[in-house]
Amino acid sequence: MAAVTFKGNPVSISGNLPVVGSRAPAFVLVKGDLSDARLADFAGKTVVLSIFPSIDTPVCAASVRRFNEAVGAKANTVVLCVSADLPFAQGRFCAAEGLKHVVPLSAFRNPEFGTAYGVTVTAGPLRGLFSRAVLVISPAGTVTYAEQVPDIAQEPDYAAALRALA
């Protein structure tokens, strides 16, 4: 299990991120219209998985905005913003912010996503939410970049994630 903190306090999470070079675990998440979205739906594209606890926090919101701006319009690339938030909350945020280059996806019906990706917080006040992580998945489905952000209250290393897209 990765060492993760929240504002300096240790947080237990469900495991470890998939390692670079491994096949990204398949998943089913929920889109804003309540239909399913699968990793396979994005085959042939570079996928940026931006995983976070809740869109309703300043750091998570900043992360979604940043990826929308930096990656969203990049050819053959899709940014999937994944949290346990309800799809309605995710949709309201993206609409209010005018974010058109990210795809918000909810794990509210599919908590196994957090286990497969090693990001579910297993104890404490954030139990059931996700830690902050970023993965880049190649068009062939291989993990080419993985960052488990050491403190959930910190933003990810955007520069490193963007370099992984080159």
14-28, 46-60, 104-118, 149-163: the lowest-pLDDT one = 46-60
* pLDDT value, residue 1: 63
pLDDT band at 120; cut points 50, 70, 90: very high
**Position 56 pLDDT exceeds 90:** no
Residues 16-28 have pLDDT tens digits of 999 999 999 999 9
Token pair for 150: 């050491």
The total number of residues written for the chain in this structure:
166
* Whole-angstrom distance, CA of residue 125 vs CA of residue 34: 27
Beta strands in 7-129 (DSSP E): 9-11, 28-30, 36-38, 46-51, 77-83, 103-106
Active site residue 94: no
The active-site residue out of 4, 39, 51, 60 is 60
Q: How many domains does the chain have?
A: 1
**Position 50 pLDDT exceeds 70:** yes
Question: Which domain, by its residues, includes 103?
Answer: 4-164
Other CB atoms within 10 Å distance of the CB of residue 110: 18
Mean pLDDT calculated for residue range 136-144: 96
pLDDT band at 157; cut points 50, 70, 90: very high
CATH number at residue 43: 3.40.30.10
Residue type, 37: A
Mean pLDDT calculated for residue range 135-140: 96
| Percent of the chain scoring above 90 in pLDDT | 63
Contact 127, 121 (CB under 8 A): yes
Task: Flag whether the pTM goes above 0.85.
Answer: yes
* pLDDT value, residue 100: 82
* pLDDT value, residue 90: 87
